Amino acid sequence: MLLVTMVDVPFNQIRTYLINLTNKCGYTYWNGHLRSKLKWLRDVEKINLIKKNSQRDMKVLDLGCGFGHMTLMIKEIGLEVIGIDVQKKNFTILKELDAPFLLCDGLALPFKSKIFDLILANGVLEHVGKEDEEKILLQESCRVLKKKGIFYISALPRKYSFEHIASKLSIRSHTRYFDIKMVRTIIENAGFNIVQIENEQLVILNILPFWISNSLAVGLLALEKKFKMFQLGLYETYGILTFKRKN
């Protein structure tokens, strides 16, 4: 089997290892996600934000960790972290990784209250499905987060975005799409204060041919960040939503 080696990106060793592992295990979707340099750099931006706001001895929960790439990067920057996921199939990958992972449901987190300094939910909330379960997930996150702890939600699909419109034609879809009003309501009702909301995934960049987006990834990411001030469907997701526990 051909092994792939990727260079010139942050956390290159982790990315290369996961590309080869997902290829070996036949996880086509995740392998494609990892091969996209633009998607990888977007996730690196989130790790940089965590690092910027981190302190020694911080304890981090990667909620809905998927194939574990964010968990590994958080560990790499020197923080204590555990990744959890409800999908048993993900543990074909996770059991091979050098980090603590736990199979459990985010609706009933097996942790004591106020134990984590920071929680990351990257591409999670839109897959919960039911509004009542969404509420429970956020309340559980608030319960295990320390007072004044930070909660990052990222890759949250925007209502009225190109993808949302396309979902009406069954081209691409998530279970739920969100606007600012919805975000404020569900987050504040769960016990959080909103600190900051940013956009991510400029539509035109997501439809570029793979070879173009990969070869120009650094410049395209800079362009994407420059136009974050614009709304009206130009961006597909809310990239970083920062919340703090109220009390």
Instruction: Measure the CA–CA gap between 97 and 14, rounded to whole angstroms.
Output: 10
Residue (of 142, 118, 137, 117) closest to 126 by Cα position = 137
Least confident of 45-49, 148-152, 198-202: 198-202
Class of CATH domain 12-245: alpha beta
Q: Collapsing DSSP states into helix, strand and coil, what is residue 210?
A: helix
Confidence of residue 224 (pLDDT cuts 50, 70, 90): confident
CA separation, residue 198 to residues 61, 156, 164, 189, 224 (Å)? 21, 10, 18, 21, 11
Query: pLDDT-derived band of residue 71, with 50, 70 and 90 as boundaries?
Result: very high
pLDDT digits (tens, 9 = 90+) for 202-214: 666 666 777 788 8
Cα separation, 73 vs 10, whole angstroms: 10
Query: Quick one: pLDDT at residue 43?
Result: 92
Q: Hey, where are the domains in the chain?
A: 12-245
When pLDDT is averaged across residues 126-148 and rounded to a whole number, the result is: 91
pLDDT tier at 6 (50, 70, 90 boundaries)?
Answer: very low
Please give the model's pTM, rounded to 2 decimal places: 0.88
